[in-house]
Amino acid sequence: MNFIIAYISTGIVFLAIDAIWLSQMANRLYRPMIGPLMADTVNVVPAILFYLLYVAGIVVFAVQPALGSGRWPTALMLGGFFGLVAYGTYDLTNHATLRDWPALITVADLIWGTVLTALSATAGLLITRALVGGAS
């Protein structure tokens, strides 16, 4: 039951924050720099699959260990590291293999993925503890 509550709460936080970022940065950062690579519309199925899988990763690798330790800094640090690794995999691979991939996109995404995942993991932990109880 804790996993389900952690998954839902982390997912809601992650989606809400990421939606704000994407709505603000798509036309300001991404479209001017990688516009020709972007699709005209979002392919919804892979996007949903990404969010479902990524949130599970946040819970398994950051929220659950933090629930076990009872310490929110565990969620913050493990979440941040998971975000850096995951977003780094995507962006550094693009940077290495795609012609004219902007370094600014790589740097912005690495920072964004780290911060977003750290905040989502920490919020997911705190919400889960508030709903099911646990150490503070």
Q: In this structure, what token pair is assigned to residue 89?
A: 């995999």
Mean pLDDT along residues 89-118: 97
Residue with tokens 């659950």: 64
Q: In this structure, what token pair is assigned to residue 56?
A: 């599970």
Domain that includes residue 107, residue range: 1-134
CB-based contacts of 11, cutoff 8 Å, min separation 6: 51, 55, 124
Q: What percent of the chain has pLDDT over 90?
A: 96
7 or 136, which is more confident: 7
The total number of structural domains in the chain stands at 1
DSSP-based three-state secondary structure for 63: helix
Residue 105 has pLDDT above 50, yes or no: yes
Q: What is the band of 136 on the pLDDT scale with cuts at 50, 70, 90? A: very low
Three-state SS annotation for 67-99: HHHCCHHHHHHHHHHHHHHHHHHHHHHHHHHCC
Q: What is the band of 1 on the pLDDT scale with cuts at 50, 70, 90? A: confident
pLDDT digits 0-9 by tens, 45-94: 999 999 999 999 999 999 999 999 999 999 999 999 999 999 999 999 99
Alpha carbon 51 to chain centroid, angstroms: 8
